[in-house]
Amino acid sequence: MSSKIISNLFCFFAFLCVLLLLQTEFSPTTSNHEKEYVTIDELSDKKDAHKAIKERFPKFYAAYKKLQSQTTDENRMAAIEDAFSAAKSEGFNDPKILRSIHLFEAQIHQDRWHFVYAIESLKLAQELYFEQKIASHIKKLRRHLSQVESERGLNDSYIATKYSGPAKQLKGKVVVAYVYVDDGINTRWSNKTRHRTEKVLELVQDWQANAAREYGVNDINFVNRSFIARKNPMLKAPRTISFESNGEDIEQYVASVMASLGEKNVGDFIEKQIKAEGADQGVVILHVNFNQRSFAQRCGYTHMKKSRINGKYQTRYFSQCNNEYVMLMEQVKRNRWDKMHYAQAHEMMHVFGAADLYNIKNASDFAVTDIMNFQSKSLDYSQVEPITAYAIGWLEEKPIAPFIIIEK
């Protein structure tokens, strides 16, 4: 049985368990402990409970029944929001039922790896009434977050490099020059692995285009061009290149990849691709087929001009840099599809101007589902929040954030 089928069966079983819990809580038992949480005192059996809630809290009852009928997490989350809204407007305050919905919401967040939101939902459940096993689970999730946030606090500010380099903004016609680095030993590419990678890239681009539409950007058109870099002595030792390598070693390695393609440098290479396709933007992705930490080299502003407009001095920044690229180090394997989706999407956002959020001190509970902050289990669960949308050119107005946003 495939892992996908097992996962689906597990999610279905978990949902049935929660629904069973919710169903039983419509009918209070006769124990003293249960009675103190029943706000509708005249209820004595399940049928009467349903009837009384339907009559006294019709909006909540309708939202609750809608929640029970949903078959996707997206629709369940919408139904949960409707249920809480109805409960607030009608004054429905049965802690057992509301607590169960909070727990169900927490499970969905956790399944998506949205652990910050999962903790928030669990805390709301605990406020209704405390349970030790939930408290222990909250501690477990916090320990997990402390591990994945090992770099939190490295930066105090956010640096946006919008409108710089060949990938000025994620709009218009975008040519993606995808370079498969093949040394014939450590990083090899077959037709099959290249095809799989191309399919992942297309899914990533669909996700980016869909996210753009949320901000009224509807003109993104990707053009993908593939290249294979091989037959260069420098490519024989790519494992010596990593995120932690010094700049000179990285530049030498990238130069060797370009030489394998008959190009002088990354800048000239991508400018040729932009011109050949008549594109507005250009991205270079160098993909090495093994697992290390991926990274991106992005351009910043290189020139500044001050001018007086309507009696006020304004400063404009310009960039003549074109030496930017993504160094993708993800092995193409079936059990790493979600990781490669995330890596491609995350690193591409860098060259369009976005900065990491996972290493900013005050971003631990800010834009937590953003592609540049915590990783979600699936790319479909990741979002482009206003901070990243601003950096990549989808928003003009600088968003409010709990840290300083610098354009540099």
3-state helix/strand/coil string of the chain = CCHHHHHHHHHHHHHHHHHHHHHHCCCCCCCHHHHCCCCCCCCCCHHHHHHHHHHHCHHHHHHHHHHHHCCCHHHHHHHHHHHHHHHHHHCCCCHHHHHHHHHHHHHHHHHCCCHHHHHHHHHHHHHHCCCHHHHHHHHHHHHHHHHHCCCCCCECEEEECCCCCCCCCCCCEEEEEEEEECCCCCCCCCHHHHHHHHHHHHHHHHHHHHHHHCCCCCCCEEEEEEEEECCCHHHHCHHHCCCCCCHHHHHHHHHHHHHHCCCCCHHHHHHHHHHHHCCCEEEEEEEECCCCCCEEECCCCCEEEEEEECCEEEEEEECCCCCCEEEEECCCCHHHHHHHHHHHHHHHHHHCCCCCCCCEHHHCCCCCCECCCCCCCCHHHCECCHHHHHHCCCCCCCCCCCCEEEEC
Domain boundaries along the sequence of the chain:
3-148, 157-407
Which residues lie across from 343 on neighbouring strands?
none
pLDDT tens-digit map of 248-305:
888 988 998 999 999 999 999 999 999 999 999 999 999 999 888 999 999 976 555 6
pLDDT > 60? residue 41: no
Return d(Cα 134, Cα 140) in angstroms, integer. 10
The rounded radius of gyration (Å) of the Cα atoms in the chain is 26
b or e along 56-65 (b: 16 or more beta carbons within 10 Å of the residue's beta carbon)? ebeebbebbe
Q: Which amino acid is at 77?
A: M
Residues 323 and 214: beta-carbon distance below 8 Å = no
Return d(Cα 367, Cα 388) in angstroms, integer. 9
Measured on CA atoms in the order 309, 315, 320, 321, is the torsion positive or negative?
negative
Helix axes 115-128, 95-111, angle to 10 degrees: 170
Return d(Cα 16, Cα 299) in angstroms, integer. 51
Q: For the chain, how many residues are written?
A: 408
pLDDT > 80? residue 159: yes
Helix axes 191-213, 337-351, angle to 10 degrees: 60
* CATH number given to 157-407: 3.40.390
Return d(Cα 256, Cα 105) in angstroms, integer. 51
pLDDT > 60? residue 29: no
Q: Which amino acid is at 338?
A: D
Residue 18: predicted pLDDT: 45
Residue 32: predicted pLDDT: 36
85's tokens: 């809204």
Fold of 3-148: 1.25.40
As to burial, measured by CB atoms within 10 angstroms (0-12 exposed, 13-18 middle, 19+ buried), residue 391 is buried
pLDDT interval class at 21 (50, 70, 90):
very low
The residue that leads in pLDDT, 397 or 314, is 397
pTM of the full structure: 0.82
Residue 37: predicted pLDDT: 26
pLDDT tens-digit map of 60-75:
999 988 998 899 999 9
